[in-house]
Structure 1
Amino acid sequence: MTECHSDLPYNFPTPRPLVVRFSDLELSSDAGILLARQAEEQVQVCRGLSACIQDWRDPSKITHNLHQLVSQRVYQMVGGYEDANDSNVLRHDPIFKVACGRSPSVGTDLLASQPTITRLENHIGKAEVAAMRSRMVDGFIQRYKSAPDEIVLDIDGWDDPTHGNQQLSCFHGYYGHHMYFPVLINEASTGYPLILQLRAGNSHSGKGVAGILRWLFWRLKRVWPSVRLILRGDAGFSLPEIMQVCERSKVGYALGFIRNAVLERKIADLLERARLQHIQTQQKARLFDDVYYAARTWDEPRRLVMKAEWLDQGPNPRFVVTNLEQPPQELYDHFYVQRGGDSEHRIKELKLGIKADRLSCSTFIANQFRLLLAQAAYILMIAIRQAAHGTQLATAQVERLRLLLIKGAAKVTVSTRRILVELAAFCPYAQEMRQISRNLSQSQSLKFE
């Protein structure tokens, strides 16, 4: 008699008895991790991070080298497994084992367990974090075929709530909870994250940014002396020291600026004209102008672009401090406002797609290392998206790329001649996977123009 015991019992009617069981075959739910492994072959971000770590272990007792440990952790983040605890199950997964250079055979060549991953995260020191940060910028530079004429950098921060006794987790009055306050600096057109810096939860938006920018500008201009750099950010970054760093480094900037009583007087006439225009047309009215303004803490006046906008709900004035020369409306509409969508979109991908906000280690440095691992995972996903050029996934978000490409079932068979990975016969995005794999195998296809 046919055995009809089911691991997952269902009670809806079917033409024949429905039996659902967990297979004993060597199967994986994340076949697309091999795409991330192919991306790593080109961008070498995991290898770069591991090269910055000084191995502290007894050589005679090492089972997993540092490159395998870092790669395993990053690939898990790509697959949506942000917790170190997930390693205890995924260490048996044949696809993850292949991606990390191990044999996928059952019961052999296991990947690292959670205690090993946790020891790695808690071993990292400040010097190694600084070296990793430099490697990330070097990776960005190496992806250019030739020296670019202009690079626009977006800077933004976000609140990362904490729920334990993490070091430097502090209460922030504006956000109203205990948190960390990471800051992201990314290249605007590609979204490539150059800097992902962790900060204490009670930091001001612009705290510690001037030193980072000074180093970043120096690093980029040392390689490309003639490149034109431009920094965009919201009002939290319009601090005197940040603008001074930009000016001394000959870097353009367009930063939001918080209004005050002086600026309200300067924009009053323009805002009145916008109000009258709104009354006449019953449509949103927008007028632009610029003035030179010197705050009390500034050494000299700076150009301030003013937007006088009148809506049905009332006035909506905005200010941007800049050293760029475009006409006011052109600078605001066609350059500055692009920052909001771009930088916030990158942060959304990091938080929702990579789970970069999962910083639950007890020490600050360990959480900074986790942020760097998330940055590496994001870089691999950007490489996959770039390789999807010409397909319907060319502009897909990280979450969608994972759902459609990474999360795919595969059967892995090991023989004396080969490792055979069999994907689903009815995979709906098989053509896209073929195209991405071909592009990833061609290193020049991943270069920035």
Structure 2
Amino acid sequence: MLRLRATSLQCNPHLSVINDAGQLSNDAGMILPIEFTNRIHLKNLIRNTIFFNDERKFAKISFVYLFEFTLMLRIAGYCTDSAANTWRQDPAIRIALGEYGVASQASISRFIASLTQDNLVETQNLLLKLADVVLKDPSRTEMILDIDSTHLDTFGHQEHATYNGHYSANGYHPLLVFDDATGLLLGAQLRPGNVYTSSDADTFIAPILDHLKALRPDMNITVRGDSGFAKPEFYAACAKRSVKFIVRLKKNNRINELTTTATQATEMTTDFQSEDHELDYQVKIWADNYRVIVHSESKAESFLWDDHTLLVTNDTKIPCETLITRYRQRGRVEDLIKELKAGFAFDKTDSHSFTMNAARALISAVAYNIVQLFKLILIPFDARKTIATLRFELLHFTGKITHHAHRIVLHLASSQVFSGFIGNVLNDILQM
């Protein structure tokens, strides 16, 4: 640990700064997510879901503890393995996780390097099991899923990192599925950078839909996707499981012709106007005759319809206007992806191995879901707080550790601005 010499300050020559305070924690608030994960039995979930191939002899720290410690690092915002070397000395972290639950950079790096493709699939399952904590609520009868892809930049010679023309950059092109109502991440899959948006989207979403249908057979599920997912195999994967889909269509000559015929204006208007129509448009390779809707908009003082939004769906009952509105509400997924990247380092791709980069991305995804559960259960009135706000208000504050006979006390500053918020959250955790 870097030691500071006693240094006088110009603002007050009588004031010196030195980091020799001993039993002080800079992240005392991390006891909250650590206690929360104990209440939801995270260790048991990991043990029963991910089966690590641990070939080490005489190891003091199990892979389950290493996994949990890495998750806590992500939640705290320390997204490099080397941060563990200093953070493991934090007294509150050592006490809360246990002496054998704090690891060094070398232990974490070796652990991630040991993860296999099977472990990646099992970590995907862990994402779903965490989401089950709230998705199994019987009062909820409808679920809207947003599937999307994003780009992760790479720098160097990472395995399978290739050029993506859409983003004009080298990197990876992962798939993601979120639950719109809760913001929970239900699936994440790292892919090479040059694959098309819908590549393997049907096989990616199928096990997720199967899991949700098994969990809640009565749930009405709708999947939303942009034009990158306009693929017959994707439609069929949803329809086969009695899941509705709303996917944007790309324009072609046939659609342009039908759209022009259906939306010809009869007179010039002085105000903005919009219309919705259903098109008689089918493709032979579609497994069924799906419904195609066009939403057209016209600017004021124009005979022309300037903008057209085309959707394909297997939902035959909901009115056109409702489907258009429902599709446009998928914009929130961009904020969730941004939170996943900026808040949990999902886009950290500094390993040469593709498997290791995929493992790091999934660890970030699990940390993200833990925080989402934390917010949904403990602060549902403000569940859209970002992790940056939570770290400022709940996690990163100073505490002093004192040892007494048979007990340890964590003292918080009486002048802590958010002490009331912290106390309420802790009481709610203890009552779980």
- Scaled by the length of structure 2, the TM-score of the pair is 0.91
Q: 1:120 aligns with which of 92, 105, 111?
A: 111
Relative distance call for 1:344 and 1:24 in structure 2 (3 A) is same
Name the structure 2 match of 1:356: 346
Structure 1 residue 97, shift from structure 2 partner: 1.6
| AA aligned opposite 1:404 | E
Distance in 1 between the 2:250 and 2:422 partners? 47
Name the structure 1 match of 2:274: 286
Name the structure 2 match of 1:75: 72
- What is the 5 A alignment of 1:132-151? 132-143=123-134, 144-146=136-138, 148-151=140-143
Kept in 1, the 8 Å contact 2:345–2:364? The answer is yes
Structure 1 residue 176, shift from structure 2 partner: 1.0
Name the structure 2 match of 1:215: 207
| AA aligned opposite 2:275 | L
Relative distance call for 1:373 and 1:266 in structure 2 (3 A) is same
Q: Deviation per CA, 1:84-141, whole angstroms, max 9, x where unpaired? A: 1111111211122233223xxxxxx682111110010010111122222223223323
Report the 3-state secondary structure (helix = DSSP H, G, I; strand = E; otherwise coil) of the residue aligned with 1:428. coil
| AA aligned opposite 2:290 | R
Does 2:359 correspond to 1:369?
Answer: yes
Relative distance call for 1:275 and 1:425 in structure 2 (3 A) is farther
Query: Structure 1: 5+ residue runs without aligned partners?
Result: 103-108, 444-449
| AA aligned opposite 2:117 | K
- What is the 5 A alignment of 1:289-308? 289-295=277-283, 297-308=285-296
Structure 1 residue 179, shift from structure 2 partner: 0.8
Relative distance call for 1:30 and 1:97 in structure 2 (3 A) is same
Q: Deviation per CA, 1:407-426, whole angstroms, max 9, x where unpaired? A: 11111223332121112221
Structure 1 residue 36, shift from structure 2 partner: 0.9
Relative distance call for 1:196 and 1:47 in structure 2 (3 A) is farther
| AA aligned opposite 2:154 | T
Report the 3-state secondary structure (helix = DSSP H, G, I; strand = E; otherwise coil) of the residue aligned with 1:184. strand
Q: Deviation per CA, 1:286-313, whole angstroms, max 9, x where unpaired? A: 2212223223543443211211123479
Structure 1 residue 274, shift from structure 2 partner: 9.6
| AA aligned opposite 2:30 | I
Distance in 2 between the 1:50 and 1:7 partners? 47
Structure 1 residue 78, shift from structure 2 partner: 0.5
Does 2:198 correspond to 1:206?
Answer: yes
Q: Deviation per CA, 1:253-287, whole angstroms, max 9, x where unpaired? A: 1111112222222222555439933xx12xx3222
Does 2:45 correspond to 1:48?
Answer: yes
Name the structure 2 match of 1:88: 85
Does 2:344 correspond to 1:345?
Answer: no
Structure 1 residue 177, shift from structure 2 partner: 1.1
| Identical amino acids, percent of aligned pairs | 22
| AA aligned opposite 2:67 | V
Relative distance call for 1:242 and 1:8 in structure 2 (3 A) is farther
Q: Deviation per CA, 1:233-255, whole angstroms, max 9, x where unpaired? A: 11111211000111111110111
Distance in 1 between the 2:41 and 2:107 partners? 23
Does 2:404 correspond to 1:407?
Answer: no
Q: Deviation per CA, 1:36-85, whole angstroms, max 9, x where unpaired? A: 112212334454335513242334x2121122211111111011101111
Which deviates the most, 93-102 or 323-332? 93-102
Superposition CA RMSD, Å: 2.4
Name the structure 2 match of 1:230: 222
Distance in 1 between the 2:322 and 2:181 partners? 18
Structure 1 residue 220, shift from structure 2 partner: 2.1
Name the structure 1 match of 2:430: 441
Name the structure 2 match of 1:106: none
Runs of 4+ in 1 over 6 A off after TM superposition: none
Name the structure 2 match of 1:423: 412
Kept in 2, the 8 Å contact 1:271–1:310? The answer is no
Q: Deviation per CA, 1:337-359, whole angstroms, max 9, x where unpaired? A: 11112x11211110111111112
Distance in 1 between the 2:158 and 2:14 partners? 52
